[in-house]
Amino acid sequence: SAGDGHDHGAAPTATGSALPRFAAVSETFELVGVLNGTQLSLYLDRFADNSPVKGASIELEIGGAKVIAEPRADGEFAAVLAETPRPGVLPVTATVVAGAETDLLAGEFDLHEAPHDDAAENLGGWKEWATWAVGGLVALGVLLWAGRKAMARRPGRAGEFA
């Protein structure tokens, strides 16, 4: 049977692109961060049994900038970055304090530019391909025509005797 907050029903269908995320694991804690623009959602569980960590605090360093995560619920935190990170690999260090336990976790965001889903851009790629294909066919036709014409002018064609 599923525990509190866990439903083993049908998984929702994924839509759109996945948001950037990082995972950082130690012998005590497991931290997952999901980035949506400047909004960072954090999920902190105990490594041993995957239970949410209660009463914890998290201080982050993301690409050199310090950020304090605000608790939302047991094991759930939110933070706001000063600006949207640029594409590339962004190191993440988290200091987790839960009662007498303190741990340092490290991970990284691997950020990529969002793919452009512009119909005009896709059409432009198709037009470029078609232009090259037509150009190649024209060049092939000119070569075949020039080759036939050159063969017609040559003396002593096959089947003729001098």
This model's pTM is above 0.85:
no
Tokens of 38: 């400047």
Same domain, 55 and 135: no
Domain that holds residue 48: 21-111
For the cut 90, the answer to whether the pLDDT of residue 71 exceeds it is: yes
Please report whether residue 29 resides in a domain: yes
Residue 33 confidence (pLDDT): 95
Above pLDDT 70, what percent of the chain? 77
The answer to which of 39-43, 97-101, 116-120, 144-148 has the lowest mean pLDDT is 116-120
Using an 8 Å Cβ cutoff, are 21 and 33 in contact? yes
Please report whether residue 145 resides in a domain: yes
Same domain, 125 and 87: no
Please count the other Cβ atoms lying within 10 Å of the Cβ belonging to residue 154. Answer: 8
85/89 Cα distance (integer angstroms) = 10
Structure confidence at residue 35 as a pLDDT band (50, 70, 90): very high
DSSP category for residue 38? T
Same domain, 40 and 105: yes
Same domain, 32 and 106: yes
Number of structural domains the chain divides into? 2
Please report whether residue 74 resides in a domain: yes
Residue 3 confidence (pLDDT): 55
Please report whether residue 160 resides in a domain: no
Same domain, 32 and 73: yes
| pLDDT per position as a tens digit, 87-110 | 899 999 999 999 999 999 999 998
Same domain, 76 and 46: yes
